[in-house]
Amino acid sequence: MTVRCRFAPSPTGNVHIGNIRAAIYNWLFARNRGGQFLLRLEDTDRERSTPEAVETVLDAMAWLGLDVDEQPLFQSTRKDAHLAVAEQLLASGHAYKEDKGGTGRGEAVVFRMPGTDMVFEDEIKGTLRKAAADVKDFVIVRSDGNPVFHLANVVDDISMNITHVIRGDDHIENTYRHVALYQAMGASLPTFAHLPMIVNAQGKPYSKRDGDAYVGDFREKGYLAEALFNFLVLLGWSAGDDQEKFSREELVRRFDLSRVGSNPAQFDVRKFEDLNAQYMRDLPVEVYREEFIRRITGEGWPVPDAAYLDRVIGLLRERVKKWPDVAEQAVYFFREEYPFDEKAVRKRLDAEGARERLGALRERFAGLRTFAAGELEAALRALADERGANAADFIHPVRVAVSGQGGGPSLFDLLETLGRDRVLSRMERWASGG
């Protein structure tokens, strides 16, 4: 039988990292087994499940490359099928009508638990049991005629021929009810696999207040989809060796439910940023070019010529950990108004004699025939030697003057890239007595 998995979120406007991790595991498992990965939108309840909310789910999945093999199923279209099953259960004595809890709202359809101890095999947790007395009868159709989650979920999984139900372990308790439902309907059980939760820094389940809890947050902050995908897979699964960075193909080939752990995991942003930076470094130059241009035009700066852009990328790519860094630390490459780091200015430009040295050095630079890194360095060191000074006493003031920053790419490459005009005029602004 071919494997069929599904991701069944209720579209409520945002996609949680815990949820999307479940989607990723389903996708990976399906792809690994050459099976199908499906999407079912559980949009039944009164929860405002708007078209925009559905879009958000679709966007998150598309961004992460989670392609589905069939048209998404909207659970709200399945109400008749759910109710038909409820009728059958009523007819076969597996359900009864009652004003459960004496609400006065009228009669609901209540499923009758079999009265025997429940047990099922979980791919991750092992054998799970529950005493008969601990699972009570439950409502499957509300008194207003609407099917309840448990009914809808199981009926749809059966009709979609789902073979593996992979979801968060907050569903374990529900599963005992679901198993009883499958049995009452005479359907065979799918394989269940319950994933541990992803928790926040306080060890609590993620909530809206935690920030960075939604897939969209990561996209907006300029992280890479492939890095997030890889990182999320690692939160609960390991290959068993020391490898942590995997291509998508490797993940598809190596992913296995048997290597999924059963304890909750915290999302460590620092470790994630490191992985993201590794992915950034591996990006082909074309991607950098495209993204740089997007960001530069987004800021309203003039787009430089291709040769200049490529040189800037060459200098920056080792230093960029996520895309917004481009706009933040590379301004000075693209416009004359660039921010100055106050501490760097104080330390390097306000230092004793710094501006005088800058002026003297500017004279030397101005006299160079070509503005190449080697020549610039030779000129600077020669001047330093003549004065019996340290090269660093010249290097630092220049760096801060032309870039506004205390750190950055190799100075002489930086100067060569910026070019004579920019460098000389920027130095002039700070120089004195030279």
Residues 230-259 that bind RNA (CB under 7 A): 234-236, 238, 240, 242, 244, 259
Which of positions 44-83 make contact with RNA (CB under 7 A)?
Answer: 44-45, 47
- Binding range to RNA, per CB under 7 A, among 86-94, 131-139, 283-291, 306-314: 131-139
HEC letters along 63-105:
HCCCCCCCCCEEHHHHHHHHHHHHHHHHHCCCEEEECCCCCCC
Check binding of 196 to RNA (CB under 7 A). Answer: yes
- Binding range to RNA, per CB under 7 A, among 76-84, 140-148, 330-338, 352-360: 140-148
Q: 336: buried, middle or exposed (CB in 10 Å: 19+, 13-18, 0-12)?
A: exposed
Q: Which amino acid is at 246?
A: F
* Smaller CB separation from RNA, 172 or 424: 172
| Catalytic residue numbers, as ranges | 208
Check binding of 186 to RNA (CB under 7 A). Answer: no
Which of positions 141-180 make contact with RNA (CB under 7 A)?
Answer: 142-144, 146, 148-150, 169-174
Give the integer Cα–Cα distance in Å for 66 and 7. 10
* Smaller CB separation from RNA, 242 or 286: 242
Q: What is the DSSP letter of 33?
A: T
Q: 318: buried, middle or exposed (CB in 10 Å: 19+, 13-18, 0-12)?
A: exposed
Q: What's phi and psi for 122, nearest 5 deg?
A: -110, 130
- Binding range to RNA, per CB under 7 A, among 30-38, 133-141, 283-291, 297-305: 133-141
* Smaller CB separation from RNA, 35 or 42: 42
Check binding of 208 to RNA (CB under 7 A). Answer: no
Give the integer Cα–Cα distance in Å for 197 and 18. 7
- Output the CA torsion 264→233→7→261 (10° steps): -40
Q: In the set 134, 220, 290, 299, which binds RNA (CB under 7 A)?
A: 134
What is the chain's Cα-based Rg?
31
* Smaller CB separation from RNA, 169 or 212: 169
Check binding of 100 to RNA (CB under 7 A). Answer: yes
- Binding range to RNA, per CB under 7 A, among 269-277, 296-304, 349-357, 421-429: 269-277
* Smaller CB separation from RNA, 215 or 400: 400
Tokens of 92: 């076969």
Q: In the set 48, 221, 253, 281, which binds RNA (CB under 7 A)?
A: 281
Q: Shortest distance, CB of residue 401 to RNA, whole angstroms?
A: 13
Q: What is the DSSP letter of 259?
A: G
- Binding range to RNA, per CB under 7 A, among 56-64, 85-93, 286-294, 407-415: 407-415
Q: In the set 48, 129, 294, 346, which binds RNA (CB under 7 A)?
A: 129
How many chain residues are in contact with RNA, going by CB under 7 A? 78
Q: What's phi and psi for 340, nearest 5 deg?
A: -110, 135
Q: Shortest distance, CB of residue 111 to RNA, whole angstroms?
A: 11
Q: In the set 224, 228, 331, 395, which binds RNA (CB under 7 A)?
A: 395
Q: Which of 389, 382, 349, 350 is nearest to 367 (CA)?
A: 382
Give the integer Cα–Cα distance in Å for 339 and 334. 12
Q: Shortest distance, CB of residue 289 to RNA, whole angstroms?
A: 20
Check binding of 302 to RNA (CB under 7 A). Answer: no
Residue 4's SS3 state is strand
Check binding of 42 to RNA (CB under 7 A). Answer: yes
**CB within 8 Å of 216: residues ≥ 6 apart:** 14, 15, 56, 59, 60
Residue 143's SS3 state is coil
